[in-house]
Structure 1
Amino acid sequence: MKASKNNASRPLESVELFAGAGGLALGISDAGFHHRAMIERDRWACDTIRYNQERGVSPVVNWPTPYQGDVRDFDYSPYEERIDLVSGGPPCQPFSIGGKHRGYRDDRDIFPEAARAVREIRPRAFLFENVRGLLRPNFAEYFKYILLRLTYPELVRRANDKWTNHLARLERHHTAGTSRGLSYNVTFRALNAADYGVPQARVRVVLVGFRADLGFEWSFPEPEHTLDSLLWDQWVTGEYWDEHSISKRRRPSIPQRFVSRVAKLKSAGEKPSAARWRTVRDVLRDLPEPTERQETKGVLNHWLNPGARAYTGHTGSPFDLPAKTLKAGVHGVPGGENMLAHADGRVRYFTVREAARLQTFPDNYALEGAWSEAMRQLGNAVPVKMSQTVAVRIRELLSNEAEAA
């Protein structure tokens, strides 16, 4: 489905919650939405957005100045029924596999605020994302609670009510089949960013909802890139190595875990139709080798932070696959996930610019703060290209609905 030419040039209005360093916001802007408000409580993330606005970086220069404060204190009344999309990534630490796994017991669980924003703004659609740890079995009941709160945002939790009691009320309302009041058709899927052209194996749970009265039929975009296509170019035709000017005698052996898969591809005798997964080598090939503690001339945020070391379970990302998931960490940045691993066993930390490329941020987008702070912002971010892909599909539906009206 394609948006009409008339609506393709008209920006739709959005409000961004939990904006962070701007990864989700950049993708949504690139999809054609105009942010009317941005909320983020972290000082460094707000500094990053403000600094890029001061530098005139597009599209950030056209964003509103971020509201630096707790989302629980934000007044949505000026935006009621004026917004097409509410979006955001509620803090993921309560559900992260690398975190404390406290879920609803964690005071950083701000999903209830996402429901409040939807209730008070009444947007035509919303887009929220979180870590795949949200789908862990021990969070199953709470995840159901999140979905039902977003489905029926006007059915609010009573004072001093336990969340389980509220869940029971939501379940009764849902099974009664009533259509009274504001409601949304909500769906979710765990998406791997590598399937959408991001050079990183990063799985996120994405929730999309459309106001029920619109009657939209929605499905998530199908993967555009695949591992099989990468393996074909690497180990069947060798095209990948030729593109990177790596001679046959310098090419590595097929990783053992892919041997049988490559054999099946050869037996099929036909290259998969999708584009291949993008690798670390693909996106870092034109960057100069960084210098320790000194920014490389002409390349933003590109300097070497020393001290990287590999240990069991923390071995870094190989050159010729998508990177491992960049993480923010609970007690500082976890080095194992944020390292580059050479074939000879040497490791070094990714520079901030390299990590930004792995998250598909544009090269002219600066990250504020020291290495650890900038990497924390990137570890918390949504890959720009993946968010753009989903937001484009949302925009197509909203634009065509506006034209039909």
Structure 2
Amino acid sequence: MNSIELFAGAGGLGIGLHRAGFYPLKVVERDAYCCDTIRENQRRAGSVVADWALEQGDVRSVDFGAYSGKLDLISGGPPCQPFSMGGKHKAYDDARDMFPEAIRAVREAQPKAFVFENVKGLTRASFQNYFEYIQLQMRHPEITARPDEDWSEHHARLEQHHMSGSREGLNYRLVTRLLNAANHGVPQKRERVLFVGFREDLDLEWSFPVETHSAEALLWEQHRDATYWDRHKVARKDRPEKEAMAQRALRMDAKPTTAPWKTVRDAIADLPDPEHSPHKAKAISNHRFQSGARSYPGHTGSPLDEPAKTLKAGVHGVPGGENMLLKPTGEVRYFTVRESARLQTFPDDYVFHGSWSETMRQLGNAVPVRLAEMVGKDVARRLRFAA
């Protein structure tokens, strides 16, 4: 199935969707470092991005009308800084808000479906009206703003159109949800808003796949049957003592039917320690020790035996900010780029271009590959059913 990937970044969303069966006819990314990462991987035999038609440039200069009738999917993550918890929260007053361009792409190319994602901050109460406005535009992309009409006036007109029940022209059935990647097998507590739309003339119903992993199942394996520790060959004396968690596990009536959350240990246990085994670590791409990690209020690192905290894009305090491993001893160190890629579920043969801080920025902005693949496979299945 043919697709276009916008705001591709380092490729997380695109790789997941490609694995799900979508072949990108065009991949658009403006950032030179992200493009260098994709190009570097394109030079590697067998890379998942080898045949991507990468275009380094501004989405605003792309004519999507040339793809009308040719696309099964348009996907992308419009720049999220206007909505990020770490940003200035300017939203619709921020020139980096690229949702209008994502919606223009849908309007011009008229794909059978679209998948867009953004940060949790978009769901904040202060953005509620704009969040609703984005969704209405996705549902009715041909109802465009008039000259000199501000967003709130356009919002009101879209609401009126939507409530009228009129379905003339191009319309999409939209499903929106805030997903925690940890609940879908990603070793990271990462919440992202996903927008999935299907063209209305296809007459398809769709809902997000059910969650497959849970904190309760991890609790059971760590504090009831100890299979987690046995799997990792951790002696009883080396297991962290968490009385509150143990008591919570004892109150559980039965073992959960879901799989346990994946932890940092699950993700990186087979990698050599970059600090104490640097020679072994050098044999693995992007696996180099980065000194200077320290814990301070709000930046305490990710415990080894839990899913990682959300990887950040490197603008929160010291470079890399929260992107640290918290060892059972209480010590902290920065995750290597390879460890961070594991936490974002990138394939091990996917390399990242640039300095440590630059590559951590790319990873901090990425969509977990596994999360994208999970959603993409279900979208692909539904489209094949309609074919």
Q: Do the two structures share a fold, i.e. TM-score over 0.5?
A: yes
Deviations 1:358-402 (A, max 9, x none): 000000000000000000000000000000000000000111111
- What is the identity, as a one-letter code, of the residue corresponding to 1:285? A
Alignment of structure 1 residues 196-215 onto 2, 5 Å: 196-215=184-203
Q: Secondary structure at the match of 1:112?
A: helix
In the superposition, relative to structure 1, how do residues 259 and 104 fare at CA in structure 2: closer, same or farther (>3 Å)? farther
- What is the identity, as a one-letter code, of the residue corresponding to 2:119? V
CA contact (8 A) 2:8 2:29 kept: yes
Match of 1:264 among 233, 248, 251: 251
Q: Aligned residue for 1:388?
A: 373
Work out the CA distance in 2 between the residues paired with 1:136 and 1:325.
17
Q: Aligned residue for 2:47?
A: 58
Q: Percent identity?
A: 54
Match of 2:137 among 140, 145, 149: 149
Deviations 1:205-226 (A, max 9, x none): 0100000111111010011111
Work out the CA distance in 2 between the residues paired with 1:331 and 1:277.
26
Match of 1:302 among 281, 284, 287: 287
Match of 2:13 among 18, 24, 27: 24
Q: Aligned residue for 1:398?
A: 383
Q: Which one is further off, 369-378 or 154-163? A: 154-163
How many equivalent pairs are there? 386
Q: CA offset at residue 98 of structure 1?
A: 1.6
TM-score with structure 1 setting the length: 0.93
Q: Secondary structure at the match of 2:307?
A: coil
Q: Aligned residue for 1:282?
A: 266
Q: CA offset at residue 251 of structure 1?
A: 1.1
Q: Aligned residue for 1:9?
A: none
Q: Secondary structure at the match of 2:367?
A: coil
Q: Aligned residue for 2:105?
A: 117
Q: CA offset at residue 334 of structure 1?
A: 5.1
Work out the CA distance in 2 between the residues paired with 1:295 and 1:57.
25
Q: CA offset at residue 229 of structure 1?
A: 0.7
- What is the identity, as a one-letter code, of the residue corresponding to 1:219? S
Match of 1:69 among 43, 57, 63: 57
In the superposition, relative to structure 1, how do residues 384 and 301 fare at CA in structure 2: closer, same or farther (>3 Å)? same
CA contact (8 A) 1:294 1:304 kept: no
Q: Aligned residue for 2:155?
A: 167
Work out the CA distance in 2 between the residues paired with 1:238 and 1:201.
22
User: Gapped runs of 5+ residues in structure 1?
Assistant: 1-11
Q: Aligned residue for 1:3?
A: none
Q: Secondary structure at the match of 1:262?
A: helix
In the superposition, relative to structure 1, how do residues 360 and 171 fare at CA in structure 2: closer, same or farther (>3 Å)? same
Work out the CA distance in 2 between the residues paired with 1:159 and 1:82.
30
Q: Aligned residue for 2:305?
A: 320
Alignment of structure 1 residues 230-245 onto 2, 5 Å: 230-245=218-233
Work out the CA distance in 1 between the residues paired with 2:133 and 2:317.
31
Alignment of structure 1 residues 285-364 onto 2, 5 Å: 285-291=269-275, 296-330=281-315, 335-364=320-349
CA contact (8 A) 2:319 2:357 kept: no
CA contact (8 A) 2:320 2:357 kept: no
Work out the CA distance in 2 between the residues paired with 1:224 and 1:44.
34
Match of 2:23 among 31, 34, 42: 34
Work out the CA distance in 2 between the residues paired with 1:332 and 1:26.
30
Q: Which one is further off, 328-337 or 186-195? A: 328-337
Deviations 1:271-312 (A, max 9, x none): 111111000001111101115998933311000111010011
Work out the CA distance in 2 between the residues paired with 1:339 and 1:24.
24
Work out the CA distance in 1 between the residues paired with 2:290 and 2:190.
23
Q: CA offset at residue 69 of structure 1?
A: 1.0
Q: Which one is further off, 209-218 or 155-164? A: 155-164
Q: CA offset at residue 249 of structure 1?
A: 1.5
Work out the CA distance in 1 between the residues paired with 2:35 and 2:159.
38
In the superposition, relative to structure 1, how do residues 304 and 389 fare at CA in structure 2: closer, same or farther (>3 Å)? same
In the superposition, relative to structure 1, how do residues 104 and 330 fare at CA in structure 2: closer, same or farther (>3 Å)? farther
TM-score with structure 2 setting the length: 0.97
CA contact (8 A) 1:229 1:272 kept: yes
Deviations 1:21-76 (A, max 9, x none): 00000100110111110110000000100110011242211211x11111111121
Match of 1:222 among 193, 210, 213: 210
Match of 1:45 among 34, 37, 40: 34
Q: Aligned residue for 2:74?
A: 86
* 1:178 paired to 2:166: yes
Work out the CA distance in 1 between the residues paired with 2:221 and 2:386.
41
Q: CA offset at residue 77 of structure 1?
A: 2.5
In the superposition, relative to structure 1, how do residues 119 and 332 fare at CA in structure 2: closer, same or farther (>3 Å)? farther
Work out the CA distance in 2 between the residues paired with 1:68 and 1:190.
30
Q: Secondary structure at the match of 1:386?
A: helix
Q: Secondary structure at the match of 1:272?
A: coil
- What is the identity, as a one-letter code, of the residue corresponding to 1:286? D
Work out the CA distance in 2 between the residues paired with 1:372 and 1:43.
15
Work out the CA distance in 2 between the residues paired with 1:203 and 1:22.
18
Q: CA offset at residue 260 of structure 1?
A: 4.7
Work out the CA distance in 2 between the residues paired with 1:333 and 1:401.
50
Q: CA offset at residue 328 of structure 1?
A: 0.6
- What is the identity, as a one-letter code, of the residue corresponding to 1:307? G
Work out the CA distance in 2 between the residues paired with 1:370 and 1:356.
15
